[in-house]
Each structure stands twice: as structure tokens, then as C-alpha cells.
């Protein structure tokens, strides 16, 4: 649950960093969008599966 909460608030913290690294482009898409649409949901899904398996 802590991992998921961290995944949720991470972009808020990243956007405050100098140089706006969240707005860098990879394959035409910003890192922020890769994170929000792909990386974070995938990480969250794996975390949920692992957490359920441990329980």
C-alpha cells in the first residue's frame, strides 16, 4: 500500500525538481506521460500481485 501511495505522489515531487526532468521526451512522449500511463500502473500491478501472494 505504501508503494502505491508513493507511486501516486511521486509526480508531484518530480515536477518540483529544477530543470523539469519529468518533461524530457522519450520516443516523442514526455517522461511524465510514460510514468503516468505505463510505468506506474505496471509497477502498481506487480506490487499488488506480490502483496496478494505474500498474504
Q: What are the CA-CA distances from residue 10 to residues 6, 23, 51, 52 (Å)?
A: 6, 14, 20, 23
CA–CA gap between residue 55 and residue 35 (Å, rounded): 28
Site string for another protein, 26-55 (x = CB under 8 A): -xxxx-xx-xxxx-xxx-xx-xxx-xx---
Site string for another protein, 10-29 (x = CB under 8 A): -xx--x----x-xx---xxx
- Give the position of cell 509497477: 43
Report the interface residues with another protein, using CB under 8 A: 1, 4-5, 7-9, 11-12, 15, 20, 22-23, 27-30, 32-33, 35-38, 40-42, 44-45, 47-49, 51-52
Amino acid at each position: 500500500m505504501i508503494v502505491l501511495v508513493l507511486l501516486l505522489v511521486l509526480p508531484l515531487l518530480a515536477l518540483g525538481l529544477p530543470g523539469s526532468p519529468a518533461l524530457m521526451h522519450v520516443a516523442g512522449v514526455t517522461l511524465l506521460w510514460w510514468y503516468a500511463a505505463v510505468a506506474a500502473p505496471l509497477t502498481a500491478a506487480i506490487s499488488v500481485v506480490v502483496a496478494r501472494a505474500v498474504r
